[in-house]
Chains A and B, each alone.
Chain A
């Protein structure tokens, strides 16, 4: 594989975490424009753990995931009482809040004679685990793929168990879900925790690939895109948001034909899909049909 293909595939993998994170909340009936906040939290926490504290890679990434999940749950605790547009605005506000905080967040320590750590708006340099451990880009792509496989596996377990169905019924009709004896608030908080953890995993992996992160990278547009991926790809399966990422990054961003028209084509695509297939390309009905066909 040439370097370009590897970098495109890595990008697709990393954005998939964000897209799945927003998708989990979409399933639950909540529109979040703010999952980039947890991506940023994962990136910074993971980076600090390995670069400043010199933790092993897996532990550092794990720390980012836990922090993202916990903060996701904590933020959900008051915001699950909101719905629709109000919830969307709250998530947007929180994401901007996190970005502003990172702009003034300095935490530098001397490591091997160099000052290492986030330095406000100047960003966070030298997250060099991959370089120091001698992991090639192709090897790192394997790590990203493994992380993504773990997330897909977790969601698959939930789809076999009661978890995914509970998220879906809360998303479809929260009042009726409450009448089935479900604690709707608790399920929403669980979904936000899960979504925060998934986005943070993507962020932690991103930081170690890029070796440099800065607050400006975690802007609103990333959040809008990750939401759109699920809406394009479909709400019926976890492969929906990944399909959305493939279409956007794989086709629009990477093919030179589209390069200058990417946003125009992407915006048009979102509008078109929402009109023709309100629940995305791989919506519940399609997925059910594919499952029935596979079972035969």
Chain B
């Protein structure tokens, strides 16, 4: 359903993403791993429209995302979270969800009536998401006053509020303990069970190996392996990329 075709992004001479092709199927939890600087976040930025690709394209069910404006990509069903959490800190928890929820309904009549119509903060979808992310007791708290873990949960809930078909998670376990990681794994599965396809970028290998259906491995912007968690773990190139062989080490020093 989500397809990357020969996607490349070059920053001057640096090939952050270099001719990567991927196909992620509906209902899958797809892992994208690789050492630091291998181009994982760049791929998410290309899918969501933060970057314009140097070459190649991204399609979602045949829709060419690369031809769309950022806010249009949300309306066809792409949502994401950020490695360094990004919330609307001056809004309350409920408001964060409420503005994201169907924010893309931009037909003029809707636009105006929604501007002035009250009560959206208590819409059923918002309440459901608050419960889903266990933030119900914090609904009126200013988002910037939440704890780190709560912020992460709110960020994921906000991404879900736009009713996405694909959710891109950029290192959701960063800064989390192993225990938190297990809770996170359950939450990600629950997201998938809502019918949302998940693309997961993560360094916590226990998490990635435990919940993903398939994994692609990136190194220096290129895809070096793809397959089930067990296949990927057994792959020589992947081991070399992560643990380093003398050859790879040299390449790292020169990079």
| CB-CB nearest in chain A for B78 | A179
Which A172-196 residues have C-beta < 8 A from chain B? 172-173, 175-176, 178-184, 186, 190
Contact of A255 with B by CB under 8 A: no
- CB atoms of A179 and B115 under 8 A apart: no
Interface: A219 (CB within 8 A):
no
Binding site secondary structure of chain B? mixed
Check B117 against A162 for contact (C-beta < 8 Å).
yes
- Digitize B108-131: 1 where CB-to-A-CB distance is under 8 Å, 0 elsewhere: 000101111111100000000000
- How near does chain B come to A160, taking the closest CB pair, in angstroms? 4
Residues of A within 8 A of B245 (CB): none
B contact residues, total (Cβ < 8 Å):
36
Query: Are A180 and B100 in contact, CB atoms less than 8 angstroms apart?
Result: yes
Q: Min CB distance, A286 to chain B, in Å? A: 11
Contact A284 B100 (CB under 8 A): no
The complex places the Cα of A180 from the Cα of B160 at a distance, in Å, of 10
Interface membership of A265, Cβ < 8 A: no
A182:B103 contact, CB within 8 angstroms: yes
1/0 contact string of A124-147 vs chain B (CB within 8 Å): 000000000000000000000000
Interface membership of A81, Cβ < 8 A: no
Residue of A with least CB distance to B141: A288
The answer to whether A181 and B162 have CB atoms under 8 Å apart is yes
Is the C-beta of A169 less than 8 angstroms from some C-beta in chain B?
yes
Which one of A157, A169, A178, A184 contacts B116 once the chains associate, using CB atoms below 8 Å? A157
How far is A166 from B140 in the complex, measured between Cα atoms in Å?
17
Interface residue? A168 (CB, 8 A): yes
Task: Tell me if A263 counts as interface (CB < 8 A to partner B).
Answer: no
Contact B142 A168, beta carbon cutoff 8 Å: no
Cβ of A86 within 8 Å of any chain B Cβ, yes or no, is no
Determine the distance from Cα of A183 to Cα of B106 in the docked complex, in whole angstroms: 8
The tally of residues in A whose CB lies under 8 Å from a CB in B reads: 27
B104 contact from A175, A181, A288, Cβ within 8 A: A181
| Set of chain A residues within 8 Å of B75, measured between Cβ atoms | 181
B81-92 vs A, Cβ < 8 Å mask (1 yes, 0 no) = 000001011111
Contact B142 A284 (CB under 8 A): yes
B74 to chain A, nearest CB (A): 3
Interface-central residue, B92, B106, B115, by most chain A CB under 10 Å: B115
Residue in B88, B115, B158, B162 whose beta carbon sits within 8 Å of that of A162 in the complex:
B115
Task: Indicate whether B50 reaches chain A with its CB closer than 8 angstroms.
Answer: yes
User: In the assembled complex, which residues on chain A have CB atoms less than 8 Å from the CB atom of B117?
Assistant: 160-162
Q: Are B162 and A166 in contact (CB under 8 A)?
A: no
- A162-B120 CB under 8 A given contacts A172-B89, A179-B80: yes
Inter-chain contacts of B88 with A (CB < 8 A): 168-169, 172-173, 176
Q: CA A109 – CA B88 in complex, angstroms?
A: 54
Q: Give chain A residues whose Cβ lies under 8 Å from the Cβ of B69.
A: 178, 183
How distant is the Cα of A30 from the Cα of B44 in the complex, in angstroms? 29
Is B184 among interface residues, defined by CB-CB distance under 8 A?
no
A112 to B142, CA, bound (A): 61
B100, A161: Cβ atoms under 8 Å? Answer: no
| Contact in complex: A165, B162 (CB < 8 Å) | no
On whether A158 and B71 interact (CB within 8 A), knowing A165-B99, A179-B48, the answer reads no
Q: What CA separation (Å) do A184 and B69 show in the bound complex?
A: 11
The yes or no answer to A120 lying at the interface (CB within 8 A) is: no
**Cβ-defined contact, B115 with A176, below 8 A:** no
Closest Cβ of chain A to B92, distance in Å, is 7
Tell yes or no: B30 within 8 A of A by CB: no
* Residues of the A chain whose Cβ atoms lie less than 8 Å from the Cβ of B95: 165
**How far does the alpha carbon of A175 sit from the alpha carbon of B117 in the complex, in Å?**
25
Q: Which residue on A lies nearest to B142, using beta carbons?
A: A288
Q: Which of A161, A172, A178, A184 contacts B114 (CB 8 A)?
A: A161
